[in-house]
Amino acid sequence: MSLVFKPEETFRGDYTYRNSDAAILRFPFPFPEDRYMYSVNIEPHVRSGPTDAFCRPFDIDEHYIAECRDRALTLEQDPGRCQVLPHMMTAQWDTLELLMENMAADYPEQFSLTKEGDVFGSRWTWINRPLGIEQQFIFGDPDTLPCEPFEYITRQAQGDFAICDQREDNLYLDAGMITSQADWSLEFNVGMNFMEWHGPVPLAHQAGVFERALKYLLMLRLGQPVRRLNWTMSINPRLDTSPESYPAWGPDRASVTVENAGGKVHLRVELQTLWRLPRSNAILFPIRCFLISIEELARVPKWGKRLHRVLSSLPPELAEYKGLTRYLPATLAWLAPLDDGAELATGTGPDITELAPV
């Protein structure tokens, strides 16, 4: 896969982030039907899917360099966005190994990993060409890296990462690199168990969704990762929409009008994968965030029409939970002229291979 990066784009300030035609067509659109339905939507994380974004264990795209730079800015302002409890060191090395091996295998033009062995004490060499990094280190010795292994490798990956320790028939959020989350706080949630972490979500608890999800995840097997999609919306292409930074992005919700909704309102989709880690038996939870403005998304006719229908059927309590209430009417008004009522095929793929010229 040949990658052309857009290193100068920004996710704050002047917001120069944009998606190329190829990035639009590979977007992981989350709605297979015309009405909203809450579901866990877990499936095996295999090397295929409705768009190219699903086809590699850890997706890297044209926004890679810019996203890594934005993460570094967020960590500089708030180092607490990366936290790891002391007992999670083995899980840190598990994560570093998993990401390095897969990034080097899937993107050999960009990354390489050379090992002199697979066990703790082996000498490894990691090369990250897009970020200009070459690092020799001893696998298992954190003193041979510039920072702890989990922070080291997740600074070089797109998306957020959490590690859940499994004990007492539950999962505990005991580590995280969280700089592009959809309005939740690692500082508040670190150490919580699975049910506490998901406590604020409306409707799902009454339906027993999280009880079933927890039972499923406790049985997750090594070498059999799974995935699901989660979604919300945000104003402007901002990665850092944490509670800690709310003063910087919260007021933007009041700036949306019918006229500017197409460029300001962004669908924010998380491709969430879950991996059993080999030595620690913990579960790695990568949360890969994709952003697309609704005017970009509407260049795929099926997606523009379906988004209008899904948002029209959204339960009010869920719209409130996702923070959409203030600008949802303007968004629907912008989308409405695009929806001719035509029947749409089920599934999330774009059903086209080329976008019409703008």
User: What are the residue numbers of the active site?
Assistant: 228
Tokens of 306: 């379906």
DSSP track, 55-120:
SSSS---TTHHHHHHHHHHHHHH-GGGEEE-GGGHHHHHHHHHHHHHHHHHH-TTTEEEEES-SST
Angle between helices 328-335 and 301-312 (to 10 degrees): 140
DSSP state of 219: T
Are 295 and 338 in contact by the 8 Å Cβ rule? The answer is no
Tokens of 147: 């920072």
Q: Find where tokens 């009008």 sit.
A: 257
Are 156 and 150 in contact by the 8 Å Cβ rule? The answer is no
* Backbone angle region of 69, left / alpha / beta, with phi > 0 → left and psi within -120 to 50 → alpha: alpha
